[in-house]
Amino acid sequence: MALPKDFDGFKGTLHQNEPPQSWPNPLKSLWLDAKDDWEAAHDLVDGLETPMANWVHAYLHRKEGDEWNADYWYRQAGQPYFEGPLEEEWTQLVHAVLN
C-alpha cells in the first residue's frame, strides 16, 4: 500500500490490524502508537538514526514520561522539546512524515 495522501487518509487506515509493510518505520511507529501499542512503536524507531525516527523516538519517550530521554532524542532530531499536548505533536509528526 502506498503512503496515504494526507492526514485523513492515514487516520482512515487505523481500522486495519497492522500498518502496511511498505510504509517507513516512523509512520508505522505513529500508527502503532495510535493503536496504543507503545512498545511496538518504540521498537520500530529504536536504533534508527534518521532525524524523523529520532523525532518520533523523542515523542514516544515524552509520552512515556521520560523527559530526560525525550530531551536527548529531540536534540538528536534537531527539534526543540515539544511543550504542547501529545495529540498535537502526534498530528504534527504524521504531517511531517507524509510531506
pLDDT digits (tens, 9 = 90+) for 18-35: 999 999 999 999 999 999
The pLDDT value given to residue 1 = 67
This prediction's pTM? 0.94
Residue 3 has pLDDT above 90, yes or no: no
CA–CA distances in Å: residue 84 to residues 20, 28, 41, 57, 88 = 29, 22, 21, 16, 7
3-state secondary structure the chain: CCCCCCHHHHHCCCCCCCCCCCCCHHHHHHHHHHCCCHHHHHHHHCCCCCHHHHHHHHHHHHHHCCHHHHHHHHHHHCCCCCCCCHHHHHHHHHHHHHC
Distance CA(92)–CA(75), nearest Å, equals: 17
C-alpha cell at 65: 514520561
State the pLDDT at residue 85: 98
What residue segments make up the domains of the chain, in order of their start?
Answer: 36-99
Q: pLDDT (tens digit, 9 = 90+) per residue, 62-84?
A: 999 999 999 999 999 999 999 99
pLDDT, one tens digit per residue, over 32-73 is 999 999 999 999 999 899 999 999 999 999 999 999 999 999
**How confident is the model at residue 5, as a pLDDT?**
87
